[in-house]
Structure 1
Amino acid sequence: MDEKEAMIALRWAERCGIQDASPLYSSLLRQCCSSRSLRLGKLIHSSLQRAGLESDTFLANLLLHMYTECGRIRDACSVFDAIARKNVFSGNLMIAGYARAGHLREARMVFEEMPQKSTVSWNSLIGAFSRSGRPIESLVLFWTMNLEGVRPNSVTFMAAIEACTSMEEISHGRFVHAVVLSCEGEASVGVMNALINMYGKHSRVSEARKTFASICKSHRDVISWNSMISAYARNGRLQEAKNTFDAMDLDRNTVTWNTMIGGYAQSESAGAGALIMLAMMDQQGIHPNACTFISVFDACARISALRQGRLVHSFLLEAPGAEDHSQHHLEVGNSIIHMYGSCGCSAEAEKTLHRMQSRTVVSWSSLVAAHVQAGDLSSAVTSFHKMAMDGVLPNEVTFLALLSALGHSGDVKRGWSFFISMHHDYGLVWGIDHLVCTVDLFGRAGLIEQAERIVLSSSFARLPVPWMALLSACKSSRNPGTIEKSGTVARTALELNTAKSSPYVLVSNAFLDDLPYFPGARTLPYQPPPPAAPLVKTHLG
């Protein structure tokens, strides 16, 4: 029944004084849960209060479920607190509601206060911590559950494996795998698929293959095959991924094709394979989705395949459901801009951006980088200002593209202005790459003293990278004063980076080239840099 009919039924039940209206309230509350109709749910709540049924545990649990489904955690909490005889279902619903809202501390408190806990109680909390990026807490709960003798099920294992997948160490995952094998009847195909995915993401391809092989052939589903193909492709074993793809005895879905296309797209030497797979996918009548096109455009960008990129772009606009994943789709549009930019076609990249219905900092930063790639500094700066007019704030990537371009242009004044503006106007933190670009900019202009002051004033003064950049700047200068400075810079670079050969190569090249100008280069005393100071008052003079 619709909302109007439900309200009529409620009024009729109240006016007629039905003795046991619980079935009616139960049916209406279940309907509210499925439709997430908060307005009707509140009317039912008021009716329950008038009928004196609010304390009924069964109906209160349904009311609690309705509020959590509608995202009204405060209302759910009020209902939960009012339940005189809470049962395990009450606690499970409240834990799930808090977990969905991200209130893990409150969910844990409800869990700890429950006199009885079911497997569902444990699963709710283990899954909540796992999904929230807190795998340690999730696994501690998993092991505690085992110690308390509560038998895990497939849902438990899936949550624990998800937690292990996000961790750097694989040892926890192997322990969970061992528990899975020890629980007869619990090693469902879903759990085994999760294990294959976990091993693949940790680059343990042989263990992923063994897990895949352990699944009975008749029980393998398309997710099993996709997980194994992904494990190979993710680790650069494209031929084995293709062999598994070809051996697949089930109908391939879009995810299967996307996995292969994505694997080829990430390869430095096999990017063309992504285009071949897209053609095969089209021939077999499988409709590509946004993920497909993102991978293909990334492949075109990687191998600078402009002609193929344009063809795919045209194909995209003519594909079924093009409006769902054309340049109006944010991520696809961004990948098209990146593709055109990598191929040196900044004009087409800009056209794509302006056709997009929504644009983010990634969109604009990709366009700025596209202009930089094409050597069009003026358009890059113009796009930066248009970005601000569009209400989008730049990020560190945007400034890095600009500083890199300005470093090659020699426009010291504008480059320094952007460098200072990055922190003081936009509150962004300078990274070492921004510093190196700025040092390179000053060095190319022959302003070695100013470049050294920038390095000394930064928080990276004790790292070798900016000193290497400064040494390169010294090498490009040909006056005796700068050559003398290069001795001090070289000693600093060597002192801070004795483990690598690159400083020695730069020092050797610099001094060998400049010996006619400065014969005493080999005997310059080492002068360590002073402690780092805040970069606030460095100026050009």
Structure 2
Amino acid sequence: MIVKLSWPPSSYLSHRFRLPLPFSLSILFRFVTYQQDPFSELRLCLDLSSQQSYMDLSQMFYEAMKSCAALRSIPVARRLHAQLIYSGLYTSVFLQNHLLNMYSNCDSIDDACRVFSEIGFPNVFTWNTMINGLGKHGRIGEAEKLFDEMPQRDSVSWTSMMSAYFSNGKSGHTVNLLASIVREMGDVPDRFSLTCAMKACGNLGYLKLAIQLHGLVEKCGFANGYSVDSSIIDMYIKCGAVESAERVFFRIPNPTLFCWNSMIYGYSKLSGVASSLVFFNQMPERDIVSWNTVISLLSQHGYGVLALDMFVEMWNQGFSPNSMTYASVLSACASLYDLDCGRHLHARILRTESCLDVYTGSGLIDMYAKCGILKSARWIFDNLMERNVVSWTSLIVGVAQFGSQEEALLLFNLMRKVPLAPDEFTIATVFGLSSKESYLGMQLHGYSVKTGIESSIPVGNALISMYARCGNVQNANIVFDSMPLRDIISWTAMITAFSQSGDVDKAREHFDEMRDRSIITWNSMLATYVQQGFWEEGLKMYIMMLRQGIKPDWITFATSLSACADSALLQLGKQIIAQAEKFGFGLDVSVANSAITVYSRCGQIHAAYKVFESINTKSLVSWNSMLSGYAQNGHARKVIETYESMINAGFAPDHISYMSVLMACSHAGLVQEGRHYFNCMKNDHGIYPRHEHFACMVDLLGRAGLLEEAKNVIVGMPYIPNAIVWGALLAACRNYGDTELAEFAVSKLQELDVQESGSYVLLSNMYSDSGKLEGVLNVRKIMREKGIQKNPGCSWIEVNNRVHVFSVNDTNHPQMDEVLKMLEFAISEMEETTNCIIDGALLDPASNVQVSYDSGLVSVLVEAQIS
């Protein structure tokens, strides 16, 4: 029986005492009616109020609120709220609950909170709706408080709170809440709670927990359900257990497309993108998500061209791209710096899409920003109807790279003022802007602590790198020790921090503590040894790496070859070059550049040139390597010819290029050419000479006997000369016996408080050559007072795959007697041939006057003696 009531009631308060009645099945207007005007039905309902039952009108309000929630319009929601109060139905808990849901969907959580506070007798649905709304809008603290205050909870309450934790990045809390359901409440979790917990476990990457959750799913009897199985596969893949995911996948009779798509992503982590493509080709059917997954993987793994080809293939097969497709393809264009392709896609998007959504817009911002077109990136950003964290982060990164760091930090501060909290990746990006400004980095560190994301792995890694750049390795170590979770990047960043501070032992200690090491970690430790001059340990690290089955990459080979070049180990260098070719890196430009350096340092200049000619796409480093090789081997004219060829090839020289040219001119005595190229630095290419360039110029003029001009060059420097510049003048003074100018140079060195012994030794030898014993004793006194000691020379040579090392006064070599006899014979032959005395001795002013043969002369003769 349908009971008809007169409407509106005689008084507002009288309605709360009316009993709910069954609503009429015949509703005048449906959802389609108020899709265009959500109030058309409501207005008619109020006009015909005398003909409507209580339940009919309640149903119409419910439908209107559902429509308004879909429209996401706050003004419409508030008008509907006012109509509800006017109608006298506001005290209906049923309608109040849907009013809460409507405000939540319209992103007006404050209005929802006011409605919740006015509900006299909220039921479980009311509490659950409010918790869900607070969680969606990031107000996790208030959601927790409501959850704790609930008089009673149902399964939806637990799932809502878990979902709130998960959507706010608190995956650990999500899993802990599931444990509370099982342990404290004694309840059996439903499939929704388990699915949410498995997603959180995937984010955490805890494999042991994943295995336990899988067992719980089996125990609760939810296995073999498509949604649960899909979540298990996704969880295992995110935890790196692709084999376990594979076993679950092949157990399913008819896997869903979600399962197939998850496995595509999983295979990329297990054995690379190639395996993903094979699996993609085996799919019985594909959807747009399948295509998007493959395109995204290709773009993320550096296969930008293949990603664009896959996009064209998808289009040809009749799939229309969506916003996620465009975001991935635009990312590929950004990685290739292909502005033309990006603009073509932008034009297609404008032609086919009614408006830019946040994902496509963020992709366009990222593409234009990485291509350096900040004006277009900013225009798109300013005209987006909605912005997300990716939009802000992309613009901040672009402005920091091609604009200014100050503007990027202003954007970050502006982002904090809008109701959008920067995520861990935004914070990590901004840490990269702190450069060497430690105070700014510490402010950003404080902000990350305040917002509660300092424990995030990306933020922790960025903090370590930031403090390392600022030279504060102690703070970097504190951050590292305080991280609850660390990944390979964390350990590698800490190793790099110790390396930059010169603490090789600490770097190796952290390396040895690591359980899992990636190629990046090995390369970092290898580079640490090489950069700090421990070439032997670095090469041992390379050999250990091969023995443990680690596949080297181009960085490994380039770094190892750098160690061979620095230590002049030709045979080992050749072996590493051969291994690079075996692993497919022989044509890599960085490896080839390092090979040029190895051959050049070992005197094999023709082999170096052969490698140089084999490089298809030469870089500026390639040209500089060849210039340096010719300069070190005394081919001055070849240096100039190569320099001119580089200019003709369209390369602009840098300070390294000019260093090689000036050094070649100095050693060959090409004074006019040296002056010309020194002037070209600033006049033709806008390069301001550095200390080392002035030192080369002083050395060039000094070798030619133009000591006064050399002094004038130093006096005319725009900044204070360093010890290298004055040392070059001092060396020239000794060659030409200008004791007065040498004393002037030494006085300048003393003002710099130089602790290096070479300059004092030169001055002492000058006094000795001119018979001024008093001057020798005075130099010895100064060195003794300043605690300066002459470092003994050290030389080595590789003969028959064995390195022979010699230092001054070293007599430990088994063939030293024969070597010294050969040395004396060679000196006597040279004296007879040149009719001059060969100074095979060095005077050490810091000790008693004695004669000791130079270790370099000894090592040179070892090869002849042994071979």
With structure 1 as the length reference, what TM-score do the two structures score?
0.68
Instruction: From 572, 584, 590, give the equivalent of 1:308.
Output: 572
Q: CA RMSD in A?
A: 4.8
2:393 partner letter: N
1:241 and 2:523 matched: no
SS of the aligned residue for 2:421 comes to: coil
SS of the aligned residue for 2:512 comes to: helix
State the distance in 2 between where 1:383 and 1:188 align: 51
SS of the aligned residue for 1:36 comes to: helix
1:231 and 2:497 matched: yes
Partner of 2:450: 182
Partner of 1:8: none
Query: How far off its partner does 1:332 sit?
Result: 1.0
Instruction: From 467, 472, 480, give the equivalent of 1:204.
Output: 472
Q: Which has the larger radius of gyration?
A: 2
Query: How far off its partner does 1:490 sit?
Result: 5.5
Partner of 1:55: none
1:141 and 2:405 matched: no
CA deviations over 1:188-225 (Å, ceiling 9, x no partner): 22222222222223232222222222233xx4322222
For the structure 1 residues 355 and 108, does the alpha-carbon distance in structure 2 shift closer, same or farther, using more than 3 Å as the test? closer
The question of whether the paired residues in 2 share the 8 Å contact of 1:38 and 1:67 is answered with: no
1:128 and 2:398 matched: yes
Partner of 1:36: 308
Partner of 1:349: 608
State the distance in 1 between where 2:507 and 2:595 align: 27
State the distance in 1 between where 2:762 and 2:564 align: 39
Query: How far off its partner does 1:333 sit?
Result: 1.1
1:373 and 2:663 matched: no
**What does residue range 205-354 of structure 1 map to in structure 2 within 5 Å?**
205-216=473-484, 219-250=485-516, 252-268=517-533, 270-317=534-581, 319=582, 321=583, 323=584, 325-326=585-586, 328-354=587-613
CA deviations over 1:134-173 (Å, ceiling 9, x no partner): 3322222222322344322222222222323xx1112222
- Structure 2: segments with no counterpart, 5+ residues: 1-285, 297-306, 334-340, 772-867
Equivalent pairs: percent with the same residue?
Answer: 27
SS of the aligned residue for 1:140 comes to: helix
For the structure 1 residues 445 and 184, does the alpha-carbon distance in structure 2 shift closer, same or farther, using more than 3 Å as the test? closer
Query: How far off its partner does 1:282 sit?
Result: 0.6
Aligned residues: 463
With structure 2 as the length reference, what TM-score do the two structures score?
0.45
2:522 partner letter: W
For the structure 1 residues 238 and 133, does the alpha-carbon distance in structure 2 shift closer, same or farther, using more than 3 Å as the test? farther
1:127 partner letter: V
For the structure 1 residues 393 and 197, does the alpha-carbon distance in structure 2 shift closer, same or farther, using more than 3 Å as the test? closer
1:397 and 2:656 matched: yes
1:178 partner letter: G
Partner of 2:78: none
SS of the aligned residue for 1:152 comes to: coil
State the distance in 1 between where 2:327 and 2:578 align: 51
SS of the aligned residue for 2:461 comes to: helix
CA deviations over 1:89-110 (Å, ceiling 9, x no partner): 5654553443244232343344
For the structure 1 residues 61 and 82, does the alpha-carbon distance in structure 2 shift closer, same or farther, using more than 3 Å as the test? farther
State the distance in 1 between where 2:646 and 2:371 align: 34
**What does residue range 421-436 of structure 1 map to in structure 2 within 5 Å?**
433-436=692-695
1:367 partner letter: M
Query: How far off its partner does 1:86 sit?
Result: 6.1
State the distance in 2 between where 1:202 and 1:420 align: 36
State the distance in 2 between where 1:131 and 1:242 align: 33
State the distance in 1 between where 2:719 and 2:429 align: 44
SS of the aligned residue for 1:194 comes to: helix
1:159 and 2:429 matched: yes
State the distance in 1 between where 2:479 and 2:411 align: 25
For the structure 1 residues 28 and 238, does the alpha-carbon distance in structure 2 shift closer, same or farther, using more than 3 Å as the test? closer
Partner of 1:193: 461
Query: How far off its partner does 1:68 sit?
Result: 8.1
1:95 and 2:358 matched: no
Q: Which moved more, 1:414-423 or 1:272-281?
A: 414-423
State the distance in 2 between where 1:211 and 1:461 align: 42
SS of the aligned residue for 1:314 comes to: helix
For the structure 1 residues 415 and 93, does the alpha-carbon distance in structure 2 shift closer, same or farther, using more than 3 Å as the test? closer
The question of whether the paired residues in 1 share the 8 Å contact of 2:627 and 2:660 is answered with: yes
Query: How far off its partner does 1:438 sit?
Result: 3.6
The question of whether the paired residues in 2 share the 8 Å contact of 1:345 and 1:370 is answered with: no
State the distance in 2 between where 1:246 and 1:142 align: 38
For the structure 1 residues 77 and 273, does the alpha-carbon distance in structure 2 shift closer, same or farther, using more than 3 Å as the test? same
Partner of 1:437: 696
State the distance in 1 between where 2:729 and 2:416 align: 59
State the distance in 1 between where 2:673 and 2:378 align: 54
Instruction: From 325, 328, 343, give the equivalent of 1:73.
Output: 343
CA deviations over 1:288-325 (Å, ceiling 9, x no partner): 111011111222223333343233233333x4x2x3x2
State the distance in 1 between where 2:328 and 2:441 align: 33
State the distance in 2 between where 1:150 and 1:293 align: 45
For the structure 1 residues 169 and 346, does the alpha-carbon distance in structure 2 shift closer, same or farther, using more than 3 Å as the test? same
State the distance in 2 between where 1:314 and 1:64 align: 41
CA deviations over 1:422-465 (Å, ceiling 9, x no partner): 67777766556445434443343334566677778x7x367557
State the distance in 2 between where 1:62 and 1:311 align: 46
Q: Which moved more, 1:123-132 or 1:419-428?
A: 419-428
The question of whether the paired residues in 2 share the 8 Å contact of 1:61 and 1:93 is answered with: no
The question of whether the paired residues in 2 share the 8 Å contact of 1:32 and 1:66 is answered with: no
Q: Which moved more, 1:421-430 or 1:224-233?
A: 421-430
The question of whether the paired residues in 1 share the 8 Å contact of 2:596 and 2:611 is answered with: yes
For the structure 1 residues 111 and 452, does the alpha-carbon distance in structure 2 shift closer, same or farther, using more than 3 Å as the test? same
State the distance in 2 between where 1:290 and 1:245 align: 21
State the distance in 2 between where 1:431 and 1:463 align: 11
For the structure 1 residues 82 and 230, does the alpha-carbon distance in structure 2 shift closer, same or farther, using more than 3 Å as the test? same
State the distance in 2 between where 1:439 and 1:288 align: 44
State the distance in 2 between where 1:247 and 1:60 align: 44
The question of whether the paired residues in 1 share the 8 Å contact of 2:705 and 2:736 is answered with: yes
Q: Which moved more, 1:385-394 or 1:344-353?
A: 385-394
Query: How far off its partner does 1:262 sit?
Result: 0.5
State the distance in 2 between where 1:156 and 1:428 align: 36
Partner of 2:836: none
State the distance in 1 between where 2:360 and 2:572 align: 58
SS of the aligned residue for 2:492 comes to: helix
The question of whether the paired residues in 1 share the 8 Å contact of 2:492 and 2:524 is answered with: yes
**What does residue range 427-466 of structure 1 map to in structure 2 within 5 Å?**
433-447=692-706, 460=717, 464=721
Highest RCO, 1 vs 2 (Cα 8 Å, sep ≥ 6): 1
State the distance in 2 between where 1:335 and 1:135 align: 34
Query: How far off its partner does 1:274 sit?
Result: 0.8
